[in-house]
Structure 1
């Protein structure tokens, strides 16, 4: 079985994953450290995506061209958009869309030129496994109030932190559950390579005027633990290599 790639959006997530790997070794490519080793008995490569769509696309392309990867799991945080998607919840994407893609009038708004689509679907089996792993992780951590949501996640090169922008996104994309800055770029690269992928995000804020409050503390104290727990539960359920 080829390696499973685990891509973290935050340094705190990366540190939590590396601390759980018994044999990680760094491989440097394009200024990035890719950590090759084992996690929960599976052969993995773990890497920091960096922030934004271009950085995420570069990282994904390197994983798929240089590291013999069979699938990619992307983790991180997101701002909640839909009603009921609250801080501390987990969102598992079933599709990704670039909310700032607009090549109109040549193409419909949000459609990626020459692809004939705006949405890139995740792998259904991987997403179902991550949703179940997230529920198990939340139960283990004693967070019964937290929920796992599955649906559309949207990405753009802007940290959404104003109520007006939040409301505009909800009006334009009413089925969007959460907003972040990398997932749709990774989705497009995986589509090009024909490699299955999944995206799971911890909701760190409500993508409104209070989005910046205690963000770093939330990532360090909550999101990093969520990432480690759900990734380990997901890998534990996979067939032995």
Structure 2
């Protein structure tokens, strides 16, 4: 998770170890690399919140693909979302885990999105693509569930804060399903 607010103490109260990345792609990449090296994990579970103009608030979505919504080198002829000269694609696909959950493309960027992203996506966050890229480079499977807290609009900051408790409960429920499978 990015922040302790996304857990609301539920995971800690159940003695579930949570690694918080902090906000943004750089923090997420650093913490993901550190966690993988320290634990030698084969699967990373990313639970968090996201905004969406496609999915309804309070819906739980499994991320099928991560894209970068703020990588824009288009003046030099590159596609928006594509990192020039990088072998990792601009769209990183994940292996589905929960067939019953809706799937979505998550656009990651170092900004709190309140408008229409430059890259086609269904939901937005600030850490996911970095986690996906580190996992891809390190050979670790990533499973990502996002609770939709807001409409990624002008009121997103208020809605996000108000809906954290609902999101933490839903994420905790699905975490329980993961570890009992």
Scaled by the length of structure 1, what TM-score is found?
0.69
Q: What SS class does the counterpart of residue 55 from structure 1 fall into? A: helix
Once residues 70 and 153 of structure 1 are traced to their aligned partners in structure 2, the CA distance between those partners, rounded to angstroms, is 22
Could you say which residue in structure 1 is the equivalent of 2:12?
Answer: 18
How many Å apart are 1:14 and its aligned residue? 6.4
Q: Residues 85-234 of structure 1 correspond to what in structure 2 (within 5 A)?
A: 85-104=55-74, 105=76, 107-113=78-84, 114-115=86-87, 117-122=89-94, 124=95, 127-129=96-98, 132=100, 148-161=101-114, 165-166=115-116, 169=117, 172-174=118-120, 176-219=121-164, 221-234=165-178
CA contact (8 A) 2:67 2:119 kept: no
CA distance in 2, matches of 1:10, 1:194: 25
Q: Of Structure 1 and Structure 2, which has the larger fraction of its residues in strand?
A: 1
Alpha-carbon RMSD across the aligned residues, in angstroms, is: 1.8
Q: 1:48 Cα deviation (Å)? A: 0.8
Instruction: List 4+ stretches of structure 1 deviating above 6 A.
Output: none
Larger radius of gyration: 1
User: What TM-score do you get using the length of structure 2 for normalisation?
Assistant: 0.90
Number of corresponding residues: 178
Q: Aligned pair 1:62/2:31, yes or no?
A: no
Q: Secondary structure at the match of 2:156?
A: coil
Change (3 A) 1:99 1:214: closer
Question: In the TM superposition, what is the alpha-carbon distance from 1:68 to its structure 2 partner?
Answer: 1.7
